[in-house]
Amino acid sequence: MLQPRQIKPLLFLTLCFFFWNTFATLAADLRYTLAMPAPHTHYFEVEVELSGARKNYIDYKMPVWAPGSYLVREFAKNVEGFAATDKSGKALRSEKINKNTWRVYSNKADAVRVKYKVYAFEMSVRTSFLDASHGYVNGTSVFMYPEGYQKESGSLVVQPFKEWKKVSTGLKNTGGYTYTFANYDILADSPLEIGNQEVLTFEAGGVPHEVAMYGEANYQPEQLLADMKKVTEECISLMGELPVDRYVFIVHNLHKGGGGLEHLNSTTLQTSRWNYSSEQGYTGFMGLVAHEYFHLWNVKRLRPAPLGPFDYDKENYTRLLWVSEGITSYYDDLITQRAGLMSPSRYLDVVAGSISAVENTPGNQVQTVSESSFDAWIKYYRRNENSNNAEVSYYTKGGVLGQLLNMEIMKATKGEKSLDDVMRYMYDRYYKKLNRGFTEQEFKEALERFAGKKLDGFFNDYVNGTKSPDYNSYFEAAGLRLVDQNEGVLNINWGATTASENGKMMIKVVSRGSSAWEGGLNVNDELIAIDGYRVEGDIKPFISGRSIGDKLSVTVSRDGRLLSLEVPIMQDNNVRYRFEKVPNPTAVQQKIYDKWLHQAGT
């Protein structure tokens, strides 16, 4: 018989065993396997093993979009051969219950293994690709997740094609081709490059950086790494710290390519393989490096509230993409310039060009930049022949507004503060201290904090309105003024873009407010004649020497019917800006200019 004093310790041990056994039973183990035995067929083979769930059924979901690219892409369309078994290999019944969800009736099995194939043959930074030369995985387009287990840690085993020896990814390697992840968000946000890519390395901010170069290209490795180091260190200097202990660039060098997609500790970049030999192409690539690297802070950590935790089933709306992408666009060229890879004069030409592009976009007078952000899901990635008339880019206009906000703060503080200070403050407050996303109002308040005044007018007119700014009232702070090189020049705004199809001159785009627009020309009209003379190519001879207000008789074929339209000659009001320095800038203007462009050791 047990003595009373022995009961409590034994009871404690019994309870400990009970709770340990209970939680051990409830704890789940998640293991993914990725194989590609026949890459020329473009199929990845995926296995997901979930142990310890012991549920009547488990739903497996394929995301519908890739964070950072705001379009529902329906990745489930590429899934084939979904099947499930228990630990012993016995088949489990499964059925597809909606467009991206497969339900497995697991009958409280201790382990469930799901297998499926993914057809991957879309070469972009947002999707996955597999052929005989390499494999690229963007997580949300390949890896399903068992619903309810998104927060579970797990492992990924990659089985490269037998002739491939390298895997480049931001995931933590635990030996061989095995990797671990803390949760599904990390797995989904860690692309993989698999093949025999060239792997280059450099160090920035005391952290190793890997550059995985797929495809032949005319880059010079030593120069490329030195310049990427300059760009990354400029970003680190701007933001004050580097929040990762390792970073991976995956670079796809293609016949035609461009663009990038940010991830938590990596990025994928695409570029044309011969871009590196020209100054414009090389600085453009470095600007892309700067853009995606700056996303380490702006978006991946400092983020609008709706952008995380992600809902992979549907759109995640925000009106702040002009901040997340547009202000990042403001910084990408600026960082390239500050890194010494672009001259100040060239940089100012780029800024003037961006302002011109915004002001020459008819949609800038129709859609606000906050609306552009919100409607990215249905408009930005689904452009058509009328998009330029109805939309404005949150990238380009957001970048221009970043310029103006920077000037507003620098002018108000006589060069003591800038947009750089706002970004550091936002990062420190909302990511590091509060660990949450920020709202529109909170971003506005942060700007006002450093500008020392309310910015209601700025937001009403330029963010939530379509008013054109008085640019010189901002840039005079840096001793600069914009000059329109088209001022006083009478140009004709014809406004119809044509292309030859099977010997026919077809209208492809009609610009709002142009001669073609006012005269009733339509997209898909065949342009046949002007004033009774056949048009066989260049229309300049037909309109040169004409005066504003003249009329042209234009013959088109529309759906097989001949029409004669009276088209008025309209004046081209497009701008072509360039910067000029004001004569004899004040000390404050010079200080602001130097601080902005990091001149004279500032």
422-446 pLDDT, tens per residue? 999 999 999 999 999 999 999 999 9
- Contact call for residues 521 and 556 (beta carbons, < 8 A): yes
Higher per-residue pLDDT: 490 or 2:
490
Edge-to-edge strands of the sheet including 58-61?
94-98, 101-104, 58-61, 145-146
* Model pLDDT for residues 233-273, shown as the tens digit of each residue: 999 999 999 999 999 999 999 999 899 999 999 999 999 99
The topology under which CATH files domain 496-568 is: Pdz3 Domain (2.30.42)
The Cα–Cα gap between 537 and 549 comes to: 24
- What stretches of 452-490 show up as alpha helix (H) in DSSP? 456-458, 471-475
The residue-averaged pLDDT of 105-131 equals 97
**Long-range CB contacts (< 8 A, 24+ apart) of 502-510?**
505/535, 505/536, 505/537, 507/556, 508/385, 509/385, 509/388, 510/385, 510/389
The Cα–Cα gap between 109 and 145 comes to: 18
Q: Is the pLDDT of residue 23 over 60?
A: no
pLDDT for the residue numbered 602:
52
> Taking Cα atoms as reference points, which of 128, 367, 151 lies closest to residue 261?
128
Q: Is the pLDDT of residue 26 over 90?
A: no
The residue-averaged pLDDT of 152-166 equals 97
The residue-averaged pLDDT of 377-400 equals 97
- Torsional sign, CA 179, 184, 186, 191: positive
- Report residue 170 as tokens: 């931001």
- Phi-psi map region of 330: left, alpha, beta (phi>0 left; psi -120 to 50 alpha): alpha
The Cα–Cα gap between 243 and 239 comes to: 10
Q: Is the pLDDT of residue 25 over 50?
A: no
At 570, is the secondary structure helix, strand, or coil? Answer: coil
pLDDT for the residue numbered 10:
37
Which pLDDT band, with edges at 50, 70 and 90, does 4 fall under? very low
Q: Is the pLDDT of residue 6 over 60?
A: no
The residue-averaged pLDDT of 219-244 equals 98
Rg (CA), the chain: 29
Identify the helix (H) or strand (E) that includes residue 401: helix 396-412
The Cα–Cα gap between 400 and 327 comes to: 8
- Torsional sign, CA 475, 476, 479, 480: positive
CATH superfamily of 321-486+579-597: Neutral Protease Domain 2 (1.10.390.10)
* Model pLDDT for residues 499-521, shown as the tens digit of each residue: 999 999 999 999 999 999 999 99
Which pLDDT band, with edges at 50, 70 and 90, does 24 fall under? very low
Boundaries of every domain in the chain: 25-195, 198-280, 321-486+579-597, 496-568
pLDDT for the residue numbered 28:
83
The topology under which CATH files domain 25-195 is: Immunoglobulin-like (2.60.40)
Identify the helix (H) or strand (E) that includes residue 174: strand 172-175
Q: Is the pLDDT of residue 484 over 80?
A: yes
In the chain, pLDDT over 90 holds for what percent of residues? Answer: 93
Which pLDDT band, with edges at 50, 70 and 90, does 599 fall under? confident
Which pLDDT band, with edges at 50, 70 and 90, does 171 fall under? very high
Q: Is the pLDDT of residue 600 over 80?
A: no
Residues 6+ apart with CB under 8 A from 465: 368
Which pLDDT band, with edges at 50, 70 and 90, does 11 fall under? very low
- Contact call for residues 354 and 287 (beta carbons, < 8 A): no
CATH of 198-280, picked from 3.10.450, 3.30.2010, 2.60.40, 1.10.3470, is: 3.30.2010
